[in-house]
Amino acid sequence: MSSGTIVEAHPAHEIVRVDLGTRSYDIIIGTHLIEAAGRLIAELRPGAAAFVVTDSNVAESHFPMLERSLAAAGICAAKTVVRAGEASKNFATLERVVDAILAARIERNDLVIALGGGVIGDLAGFAAAIARRGIDVVQIPTTLLAQVDSAIGGKTGINTKHGKNLVGAFHQPCLVLADTQVLDTLPQREFRAGYAEVAKYGLLGDAAFFAWLESNWHELFSGGAARTRAIATSCRMKADFVSRDERERGERALLNLGHTFGHALEAATGFSDRLLHGEAIAIGLALAFRLSVALELCDRKDADRVAAHLAAVGLPTRLADVAGGLPDTDALLQHMAQDKKVRRGALVFVLARGIGKAFMAPDVAPEQVRAVLDAERRRT
């Protein structure tokens, strides 16, 4: 169903269009968007009921405002609350969310609203994709990571004992509301973790943006105009990739820079608070550039610059930075073997010829990856 263009957004808001023909949708970026959500959703889908999926943290901090906004717009809304954290992305919680949607008598022409970070967006989006064979979803991301990455592009899913996001579906939202004001309530560790995904966009395809981040990250963290600019720039890059390659059969895979290493580290730490997703991606970005150096694809100065910037903002960049230690190299390689980008058993990495020059490398030998990981362990 076409979402149309949101024409009643505040003039101060940035609007990024994800162009997918009849399934195109808008990402609206700015302040007070949770307050405006009811009006915007009612304009988008007049007469629809809504079912809100959120977590135990967001339910206290942001759901009351959303509930008032929906009620003021005449939208009947039910909700379910799941435990905060990556551990909720599992079959048991998915079953509970789907059952709650059905019990609330949400129909195919109604909406599921994902209010939360990446975990909630992935979980609620997947539940919406399979309940009644597909209910439209509105993403209201409340973390920096979700606003610039996971809420956009339709990737939904859960984790299993075999790895991260290995069960899921592509289910595009019909609207994304990125309220930058809610980021002020994030713990600093969560905000830093989200910043890793912002930096990723510069590293994979926009060297000038990465240089701008190096100079302006303090303002981005403090909530100035740089924050909105960085989020909008990231969203535009993601929207462009999604519009050209919705199902990740080609260039959209470049968005996984750092993720083959990062997802393996998340699995190795049990998808726990020992290592947040963005922290794992920060280490993964540093390792991807170090692997690129080892393969003589990239100048060491670029790899050092990447690690220096991530460390400057307080992100981990080495295996030794993971609290509680990690399993051996063989175990990490086993986790990588479950990565979604594996093709016919061969590891596929996103590597770089320099900052802003990422490319797909489908033929990286396991012994080359092993050598880099072993070298990392010796650095500890």
Domain range annotation of the chain: 14-185, 209-379
pLDDT of residue 341: 64
* Known active-site residue 252: yes
One digit per residue, the tens of pLDDT, for the chain of length 380 reads 444 554 456 667 999 999 999 999 999 999 999 999 999 999 999 999 999 999 999 999 999 999 999 999 999 999 999 999 999 999 999 999 999 999 999 999 999 999 999 999 999 999 999 999 999 999 999 999 999 999 999 999 999 988 889 999 999 999 999 999 999 999 999 999 999 999 999 999 999 999 999 999 999 999 989 999 999 999 999 999 999 999 998 999 999 999 999 999 999 999 999 999 999 999 999 999 999 999 999 999 999 999 999 999 999 999 999 999 899 999 999 998 877 666 666 788 999 999 999 999 988 888 999 999 999 988 86
Q: Which of 45, 256, 305, 340 is catalytic?
A: 256
Q: Which of 45, 171, 252, 305 is catalytic?
A: 252
14-185 and 209-379 share one CATH topology? no
Q: Which of 248, 266, 279, 376 is catalytic?
A: 248
* Known active-site residue 164: no
**Dist CA 231 CA 239 (whole Å):** 12
Q: Which of 89, 155, 164, 309 is catalytic?
A: 155
Q: Which of 200, 263, 290, 309 is catalytic?
A: 263
Q: CB of 372 within 8 A of CB of 294?
A: yes
**Dist CA 37 CA 296 (whole Å):** 50
pLDDT of residue 18: 98
**Dist CA 108 CA 86 (whole Å):** 28
**Dist CA 106 CA 89 (whole Å):** 22
CATH number for the domain whose boundaries are 14-185: 3.40.50.1970
pLDDT of residue 363: 82
Q: Which of 62, 171, 277, 340 is catalytic?
A: 277
The pTM is what? 0.93
* Known active-site residue 218: no
pLDDT of residue 345: 63
pLDDT of residue 348: 84
Which of 117, 249, 111 has its CA nearest to residue 170?
Answer: 249
Mapping DSSP to helix (H, G, I), strand (E, B) and coil, where does residue 141 land? strand
* Known active-site residue 13: no
Mapping DSSP to helix (H, G, I), strand (E, B) and coil, where does residue 344 land? coil
CATH number for the domain whose boundaries are 209-379: 1.20.1090.10
* Known active-site residue 238: yes
Which of 291, 279, 265 has its CA nearest to residue 350?
Answer: 291
**Dist CA 53 CA 97 (whole Å):** 8
**Dist CA 167 CA 342 (whole Å):** 15
Q: Which of 133, 249, 378, 379 is catalytic?
A: 133
* Known active-site residue 32: no
Q: CB of 3 within 8 A of CB of 46?
A: no
* Known active-site residue 263: yes
Q: What kind and span of H or E run contains 350? A: strand 349-352
- Torsion angles phi and psi, residue 113, rounded to 5: -115, 125
* Known active-site residue 162: no
